[in-house]
Amino acid sequence: MRGGADDDISFAPKNFAELGDAFVGISGTLTGDGLAYKNNTYSISCYRDRKECFVTSIEQIGSGQIGRMDYISIYPITRWNQFEVVAAEDLDTFGCMAVTITITRKTQNALWVQQPMNQTRPECLKSDTKTHKYTVEDSIGWKRMNRK
């Protein structure tokens, strides 16, 4: 078993849930290039009647250490149909990055896209200018346990 500052805590495997056409949720490890902490777990819960997705996460920040559970972020749903649920930050926000989350219902996958915005604002002068794409997968620890 490989241990270390980036993967010695095992989070649960990926999970997908639907309750009819009222709720779609997915949880697991957000994976892709450019993440500050690769060992993490995210929960994305979308409610059709509220027209919102709620996201929270927690990350391993060092050997045997996890950070504080993030406060809930709320993303308005922009599309909900039998194939997918899409939630996106309002483009009028003051941040330097915008997030769009797409949950594909049939394949039970999620794509998280962060793209630069407001790049002409002074506070965004030194912000990341790359678009990042992440997926929700099984955790590092879960993958390691299942290789045995």
Question: Would you place residue 89 in the very low, low, confident or very high pLDDT band (cuts 50, 70, 90)?
Answer: confident
Q: What is the CA radius of gyration of the chain?
A: 16
> Do residues 45 and 25 lie in contact, with contact meaning Cβ atoms separated by under 8 Å?
yes
Tens-place pLDDT, residues 103-124? 999 999 999 999 998 888 888 8
125 or 102: whose pLDDT is higher?
102
Compute the distance between CA of residue 23 and CA of residue 47 in angstroms, rounded to an integer.
Answer: 5
7 or 74: whose pLDDT is higher?
74
Question: Would you place residue 20 in the very low, low, confident or very high pLDDT band (cuts 50, 70, 90)?
Answer: very high
Strand partners, 80: 85
- Please tell me which of 2-16, 74-88, 117-131 the model is most confident about, judged by mean pLDDT: 74-88
> Do residues 128 and 115 lie in contact, with contact meaning Cβ atoms separated by under 8 Å?
no
Domains of the chain: 15-146 (2.40.160)
Tokens of 65: 């250490």
pLDDT of residue 3: 45
Compute the distance between CA of residue 63 and CA of residue 99 in angstroms, rounded to an integer.
Answer: 29
pLDDT > 50? residue 141: yes
**pTM, 2 dp:** 0.90
